[in-house]
Amino acid sequence: RRSHRRRLGRENSINDDDEDIGRMGAEALIGLGNFGTFGFIPKGGSVYWSNLREKGFKSQIARIRRTAKVYHSPFDDGSREDMIRLAKWLKAIEKPAALMAAYDVRALQILEACRNEGFSVPGQICILGVDNDTLICENTQPDTSLTLFGRTFRYPFFAGPVGAVTMHYGEKYNDSSYN
């Protein structure tokens, strides 16, 4: 769903529907298959928009009678302590796993932790980032190789919800014109 508009005095403000973003992220991951774990990695601390994304994600996962695993850390996102704790969490969850990060920077940190621990992305762990941060998205290259029957193949996999571009950019772009 497109962002809603609020009137604040003489100023207009456009805000994301963060709970719906969480639901849509869960829908996208559910659509990719039956994973051992559906997980959400929020922004550290109690941040309103991240909490709403988590709530939407968990509610959508509950609709398929599953419980979303949520990673929590008392440390700053991406700090050495957080990355050690995140690696332990990633090792403990059932694979294959489908994870939604509250924002793109967090998705990049999850990708780094997966690389450091030797997890195959998207083979063992599928990661969905949110916000389409252009600088991050265009300069991150996850290893999308796939090993079948002892042979390794390298393919440029991309999986995302149909209509996500419209959700993010409104009527300015659609899936075909953006790609």
Q: Which of 32-46, 75-89, 112-126, 129-143 has the lowest mean pLDDT?
A: 129-143
What is the average pLDDT value for the chain, to the nearest integer? 80
Q: Looking at 5-9, 86-90, 120-124, which range is the least confident one?
A: 5-9
List of long-range contacts for 159-165, beta carbons under 8 Å, 24+ apart: 159/28, 159/32, 159/122, 159/126, 160/28, 160/128, 161/24, 161/27, 161/28, 161/31, 164/24, 164/28
Model pTM score: 0.72
